[in-house]
Amino acid sequence: MKKVSVVILNWNGAGMLRNYLPSVIRYSQGEDVEVCVADNGSTDHSCEILEKEFPSVRLICLDRNYGFAEGYNKALAQVDAKYVVLLNSDVEVTEGWLDTLTDYMEKHPEVVACQPKLLGWRDRERFEYAGASGGFIDYYGYPFCRGRIFDVVEKDRHQYDTVIPVFWATGAALYIRLDKYREVGGLDGRFFAHMEEIDLCWRLNSRGYRLVCIPQSVVYHVGGATLKKENPRKTFLNFRNNLLMLYKNLPDEDLKPVMRMRALLDFIASMVYVAKLDFRNAKAVWNARKEFMTLREQFKPDRKENLQRTVVSDIPQRYRFSILWQSKIKGRKFFSTLPG
């Protein structure tokens, strides 16, 4: 058994592997550490490049593209390690990034998952959208980060360098105990991609486990390498999966009020797209709600199991306010200005 397995999921990303894998290999050394690339049925030359140019990397070949969530489930079924890192293929790591995370996890057995600080690869002085310095959600299921609220991404002035509990750790660089990953069922493969790590972290939180951000470990993330922002497919997956996540995990007393408000807020979101003449994204929001209604019955057993296994229903890192109200109406654009 390895102590740490760094697992990169790849799909037709030969160029990204050449650009970013060298830093992962260089700064992820050790007898008890392995770097793996799980290929999600690529049709480019990814596997050939890995075999010829990166012989030290363990290659896990999947027979087709299972998406982010199920692809990782398939890959981690072939991994034997105490800890695993789910690392995006467009992440450049830095010296000491892995040792810092491992040392913390070894000293804090009550913590089951963590993330490093994510900075932008293009603008290295700013936090990166997908995870920044730790993730949270509001009462209605909208995710935000310490360092990023909606499209406002702060400069990193070391204002968020303390280790703190988080609601979710980014899937771009998620460090987790493999036994706990398996215990709670891993990522939900039905999500395919987007929101799957927040759903996983909700299950961990509700079962009494702790997750933290460790900003002393730093990585640089390109972001948006698979689906660009405002892509209708991404919009569809984000809205649909967010609703599925809420349905799976919300306490009984919150389910109806949250879902009623989300119906209104999603309608408003679609109208904003219409006002911009962006009819494809407006349609994606409507289709996401339609598919959620179709799939909801299928997720009833998951909801029942999650509620039965819940030991912490009022998770502190799930804020009781609306981040839309705080940010768009009250003008609180930075995490440090939020109430509480």
The tokens describing 19, both together, are 């650009």
Q: Is the pLDDT of residue 33 over 50?
A: yes
Dihedral through CA 249, CA 230, CA 191, CA 171, nearest 10?
A: -80
- Answer whether 54's CB lies under 8 Å from 6's CB: no
| pLDDT tens digits, one per residue of 10-23 | 999 999 999 999 99
Residue % of the chain over a pLDDT of 70: 98
| pLDDT tens digits, one per residue of 229-283 | 579 999 999 999 999 999 999 999 999 999 999 999 999 999 999 999 999 999 9
* d(C-alpha 130, C-alpha 41), whole Å: 25
User: 227: pLDDT confidence band, cut at 50, 70 and 90?
Assistant: very low
| pLDDT tens digits, one per residue of 44-102 | 999 999 999 999 999 999 999 999 999 999 999 999 999 999 999 999 999 999 999 99
| pLDDT tens digits, one per residue of 290-339 | 999 999 999 999 999 999 999 999 999 999 999 999 999 999 999 999 99
pLDDT at residue 99, rounded to an integer: 98
Spell out the domains of the chain, with CATH numbers in brackets: 1-89 (3.90.550.10), 91-340 (no CATH)
pTM of the model: 0.95
Give residues with Cβ within 8 angstroms of 233, minimum separation 6: 227, 284
Question: Rounded mean pLDDT of the chain?
Answer: 96
User: 226: pLDDT confidence band, cut at 50, 70 and 90?
Assistant: very low
Q: Is the pLDDT of residue 224 over 90?
A: no
